[in-house]
Structure 1
């Protein structure tokens, strides 16, 4: 691909405006979803370049009761200037107050009379890993605290706090109060914003393709051009009808993260954040809970999730989890409860209630083990068949697992990437797998389940896992033993 020419000044301005309209459209989606799902403290209006918000007026989410969210949106076409002390404390190009000073002034006004506020700086600029305060930013909360409060006045962090406080016109106690509610939502480049919007639109029951996202942002821009600085629920509902965006119900959002922080966790109705409770710092190598955390504790958290969600049965699952937790999440919201789950799978929305014409029965290969009365099952949609089969057989024999037989289930077209084309096929295959196992496990004491499939299929399969035997679900932990028993579920 040839590099693009440098953008013109007008091109930068247009892109920056579009970036702000996308952030504002996300606020409109939160407004619509929270009111539809009857959230406890929903957004009641979205302000765009709102009056009375100082320099935090780009996007304002007004809730029924505080804290309201005040957002400053900053877009940069390049990445030469990261977010650091210099960027935040330098005077404006015209010699005016710094970004930090403007934010501090707005905070003083908005938090008068001890009113709670939620402040955010949203930008596509990256954090500076060498900055004493920015480097301590918590990716889960987007706050600089608690690490920004570490160290005495002579430490690098303490000296930076003093400089920040002086620039902002605050004492250090006031700076601490400001940093306790100022989120640094950084590295939010356009693809990342569009990915978040795709999920929010899907969770709100709307079309979530690129055209739908742009239609929403362009609608916000038109409201601003028409002088509407406050966008209400009625306006958003009318826009959804006019733009023909509605496709299904708005959904409660459950965020479960074990591999990396979930970028939409802030919009979730319930969040399970286990990122720091799994081994290693890399999302690619996180496989098992880090002691003293256990699989049992994670199971308890996931199985308690239904009680934490608002009324209704339509639920969107987001976050980054491996296959055993995805399967368990499906069992926590089984079909017999009336729940309707949805998850984005490579840009497609896979929904448990999607209809299909005929069941899609898997191909079954049977392998004798002869170590007991239980049945082992490997659901293999993606891995070369002989490799997975041998790995599971080796594990069963090494661990002396009391199974008589291993059944390896594969799609009729064979295991490979893309073997399940869409949501309807995934549901048809989940039913085909379940029904195959119902017949095979009528006299089996227990099932030992191994998964190599898309995360969405693991969720859908768990959702339909009823009228089966008690099931031990294994996770591929890439250790010397290969697998580890993660969860035991009743079926």
Structure 2
């Protein structure tokens, strides 16, 4: 890719405005989805450059009951200015109050009657790793606390707190109160914002391509130009109709993350965050829970998810998980419960309710082991056939797993990229696999399941996993033993 030319001042301003409209459109999606899915305390309107809230007026989410959310949105075309003490406490270019001072002034006004508030500085700037306070930001909550409160008055953090308090015109105790509700939503660059919007638009039952995202942001910009500083639910519904965005039902969001943080976890109706409870710091090498965390604990958390989403039947699963947890999530919301699960798979929304014409009967290949009475099953969509078969056979022999036969199931076109082109095909194959196994396991005590397939298929397959035998689901942990038993599910 060729480098882009240096942007002009007007180009920077236009991009900054578009960034703000994208954030505001995200608020509109929250307004739409929460009111459609029956959230307990939904957003009731979205303010854009709202009146009476000081410098935290760029995007405001007003809920049925407090805390309301007040955002200051700031965009930078480069990364030369990280978020640190200087960025927050230096006077404005015109010599006016600092960013921190303006936020503190707005906070005093908004919380004057002791009303709880949720404040956010939203920017594509990253935190300064050398700053005593912003460097200790908690990525889960986006708050600087509790670590920013560590250390006495002579520590680097303590001296920084004193300077921040002086700049903000607050006592250190009041600064602590401000930092307890001021989120630093940092490093939120345009690609990440667009990824969040893609996921939220899909969960809202809307088209989620780049054009649809831009249409939504441009609609917000038009409302601002027309003088509409408050956007209501009826306005958003009308925009969805006018822009022809609606394609399906709005869904509750279930966020499950084990490999990397989920960009929409903050918008989720229920969140399972295991990123720090899996081995290694790289999303590409995370394979198993890090002791003392266990697969059994993760299974308990996933199987408890339906209770947290009671009454919600249309559910969008977001986050980054491997195949065994994806399959288990499907079984937690099985078809017999009436749930409709959906997940984005390479830009397509795969839903368990998508219709199909005929079942896809998988190709089946048997390998005798004669080590017991159980059946081992390998679902192979993505790996070269002989490689997966050899790996699973080696594992079963090395571990003396009590199986009589390994049954390898592949799509009719064989295991390769693109063998499952869309959601309809994925559902057809999931049903074909399930029905094949119903016939093959009538007298089998237990199934040992190995998966090499798109995550979406694992979810859809688990959703339809009924009238089968108790199933041990394995995860590829890339260790000397190859696979590890992760979960046991009743079927």
TM range (shorter): over 0.9
Match of 1:146 in 2: 146
Match of 1:109 in 2: 109
Distance in 2 between the 1:413 and 1:134 partners? 53
Match of 1:16 in 2: 16
Query: How does 1:258-277 map onto structure 2 within 5 Å?
Result: 258-277=258-277
Distance in 1 between the 2:183 and 2:299 partners? 31
- Alpha carbons 1:39, 1:310 under 8 Å: kept: no
* SS at 2:237 equivalent: helix
Distance in 2 between the 1:261 and 1:195 partners? 13
Match of 1:100 in 2: 100
Report the CA distance between 1:196 and its aligned residue. 0.7
Please say if 1:280 is aligned against 2:297: no
Distance in 2 between the 1:114 and 1:417 partners? 57
Could you list the runs of 5+ residues in structure 1 that have no partner in the other structure?
none
* SS at 1:488 equivalent: strand
* SS at 1:260 equivalent: coil
Match of 1:26 in 2: 26
Distance in 2 between the 1:89 and 1:381 partners? 55
Match of 1:344 in 2: 344
Query: How does 1:244-393 map onto structure 2 within 5 Å?
Result: 244-309=244-309, 311-393=311-393
Match of 1:431 in 2: 431
* SS at 1:114 equivalent: coil
Distance in 2 between the 1:226 and 1:359 partners? 52
- Report Cα offsets for 1:269-299 as digits up to 9, x if no partner: 1111111221222222221112222111111
Please say if 1:238 is aligned against 2:265: no
Report the CA distance between 1:417 and its aligned residue. 2.6
Match of 1:401 in 2: 401
Aligned residues: 491
Distance in 1 between the 2:121 and 2:455 partners? 33
Distance in 2 between the 1:473 and 1:160 partners? 51
- Report Cα offsets for 1:323-370 as digits up to 9, x if no partner: 111000000111111110010111111111111112112111111111
Report the CA distance between 1:311 and its aligned residue. 2.3
Report the CA distance between 1:477 and its aligned residue. 1.2
Report the CA distance between 1:146 and its aligned residue. 1.4
Match of 2:226 in 1: 226
Structure 1 runs of 4+ with >3 Å offset: none
Could you list the runs of 5+ residues in structure 2 that have no partner in the other structure?
none
Report the CA distance between 1:118 and its aligned residue. 0.6
- Report Cα offsets for 1:161-195 as digits up to 9, x if no partner: 22211211112111111111111111111111111
- Alpha carbons 1:38, 1:311 under 8 Å: kept: no
- Alpha carbons 1:329, 1:459 under 8 Å: kept: yes
Distance in 1 between the 2:183 and 2:310 partners? 26
- Alpha carbons 1:84, 1:128 under 8 Å: kept: yes
Distance in 2 between the 1:420 and 1:127 partners? 41
- Alpha carbons 1:37, 1:311 under 8 Å: kept: no
Q: Note the aligned Cα RMSD (angstroms).
A: 1.1
Query: How does 1:45-124 map onto structure 2 within 5 Å?
Result: 45-124=45-124
Distance in 1 between the 2:210 and 2:310 partners? 29
* SS at 1:205 equivalent: coil
- Report Cα offsets for 1:35-77 as digits up to 9, x if no partner: 0111000000000000111111000000000000000100111
Match of 2:172 in 1: 172
Report the CA distance between 1:310 and its aligned residue. 5.0
* SS at 2:240 equivalent: helix
Match of 2:410 in 1: 410
Match of 1:463 in 2: 463
Report the CA distance between 1:235 and its aligned residue. 0.7
Q: State TM-score, norm by structure 2.
A: 0.98
* SS at 1:113 equivalent: coil
Distance in 2 between the 1:22 and 1:67 partners? 22
Greater shift in the superposed pair: 298-307 or 23-32: 298-307
Q: State TM-score, norm by structure 1.
A: 0.98
